[in-house]
Amino acid sequence: MWKKTCLALFVLSLGVLHAADDFNVKNFGASGDGTADDAPAIQKAIDAALTNGGAVYFPAGRYRLKSTLTIAGSLTSDSINWLTLRGDGGGSKLLGDGIEYILAGRANPDTKSLYMNGARIENLTFSSYDFKNRCSGIDASFMLRMYITSCNFIRLNSGIASVRERAKPEERHSIWIVRIADCIFSRNSDWPINIRRAFDLVIQNNVIEHGNGGIQIGFEEDAADAACNTLRIENNVIEGLNASGKAAVRLRCVVGGRIVGNYFEANPGGDVEIMPKKGGWTRGFVIASNTFQPTKKQQDTGIYGPIKLEKAIDTSIYNNFTTGPRLLHSDSKPLGRNVVMFGNTMNNPHSMGFEGANEQERKLYEQAVRANEMNCNRFILSDFKEAVGIDSNRGIVFGQNAIAYADAAPKTGTSGDIVFSRKPEMKNGKVVIGWYCIAGGKAAKWLPVSIDGADDRLPSKP
């Protein structure tokens, strides 16, 4: 009994000593009542912790901030901050009031070091004091070895950003060895994660929901080198984004990376966009084992592909699943070089998608069907597929459908079948090139498939 009591006291004393090492912001004068400006007191705690390294602790509370909290370059002998900012999760709220960012780095005038080198930000909630006058969460520009875990970014502009202009020497923007994990981004008005240039960036196990866009890496106007070297976007859930035209993930000129094991659902602006910028293409990339659940409107068009690929090199797309009618689409020529697709599955049991599609969309769809082989034909919507290898993909409905030619609309068929006409004819100012089965059986119902008449658009005879 005596030994157990001593052991318990020893463990308790360790906890007390650990707590004593923390720089508690309330010990520096922060109130956490949501009314007083706590920024000066919290800044004192951060500056004190920076001297020899330590943890700044935020007890549960609402900390109103009328000025940006800053982390200076390291003052330690090894040039690393070894600083931790730690809260109690949802209970520790940092509320930016009339400022651009809640937390940012600044250069140390004595050492001219990185803005922040070696910091952990844990279990804090970043939000705006006034939702009509929003701020952003963390300015990650020019930071090294930063770990952001188990934080919430709610009703901000951006959650985590590094968007400063490269042309200005004082506006350094690159980040190195950054990990963003187990965080929640909700109802933000701009890209929750918006990074201009990075090296070794990992974004994993986060939830991004109900905002304008998801993750953006790289800006189109930047004409220099790669926007990111070594990027991992893994096991995130990105769902229910606004119809703002911003995708769940948009990458420009990323070299070496992977989008693996993520779940995308109901994102009207698109799911994954691999795009070029003036400085080059994305290359050496893997998109694998993701699940895509398009909106009903996206499914009904019949042409939506959750992956938009514009000029990619050495890219593999495999083992993905989508309930949509297409996996990939592209408008670029060429779509890419050495792009390989295999082992993907599509399941769109409701229709092939002519319902709700406009005439232009139908034309694009028909061109894509004619340009590909059976069983590989409907994974890509693009006129430029010469450099894409397609193998061993499966479409549950598509694998059962037949593509054939006939002189007239068939009498029987299976829902989803397409039959091209051997004798295209003008009808109501359009050329009927075939028929599409919308109801199968012995009394099947077929709809005509029409395009504006141009000889080079007609299917060739077998």
pLDDT of residue 204: 98
pLDDT tens per residue, range 83-125: 899 999 889 999 999 999 999 987 655 545 556 677 899 999 9
The count of structural domains within the chain is 3
pLDDT of residue 357: 45
Tell me the average pLDDT of the chain.
78
- Residue 428 in contact with residue 378, Cβ under 8 Å? no
The CB density around residue 29, as the number of other CB atoms within 10 Å, is 13
79 assigned to some structural domain: yes
- Residue 45 in contact with residue 24, Cβ under 8 Å? yes
Distances (CA, A) of 249 to 274, 294, 307: 8, 14, 10
| Enclosing domain of residue 386 | 244-400
Same domain, 51 and 189: yes
pLDDT of residue 236: 98
Q: How far apart are CA 418 and CA 423, in angstroms?
A: 15
Alpha helix (H) ranges present in 311-390?
A: 359-371
Same domain, 442 and 304: no
Question: In the beta sheet, which residues pair with residue 275?
Answer: 252
Same domain, 257 and 310: yes
pLDDT of residue 376: 38
Q: How far apart are CA 256 and CA 168, in angstroms?
A: 27
Same domain, 282 and 409: no
> Tokens 């189109």 label which residue?
220
pLDDT of residue 26: 97
Provide the sign of the torsion angle of the four alpha carbons 37, 41, 43, 46, taken in this order: negative
260 assigned to some structural domain: yes
The CB density around residue 445, as the number of other CB atoms within 10 Å, is 14
Same domain, 360 and 418: no
Q: Which of 89-93, 130-134, 177-181, 337-341 has the lowest mean pLDDT?
A: 337-341
pLDDT tens per residue, range 56-86: 999 999 999 999 998 876 545 456 667 899 9
Same domain, 277 and 423: no
Residue 362 has pLDDT above 60, yes or no: no
CATH of the domain at 179: 2.160.20.10
pLDDT band at 298 (very low <50, low <70, confident <90, very high): confident
Share of the chain above pLDDT 70, in %: 70
Pick the residue with more confidence: 245 or 128?
A: 128
pLDDT of residue 79: 60
pLDDT band at 194 (very low <50, low <70, confident <90, very high): very high
Residue 310 has pLDDT above 70, yes or no: yes
Q: How far apart are CA 261 and CA 269, in angstroms?
A: 20
Same domain, 262 and 389: yes
Same domain, 390 and 416: no
pLDDT of residue 367: 47
pLDDT of residue 73: 65
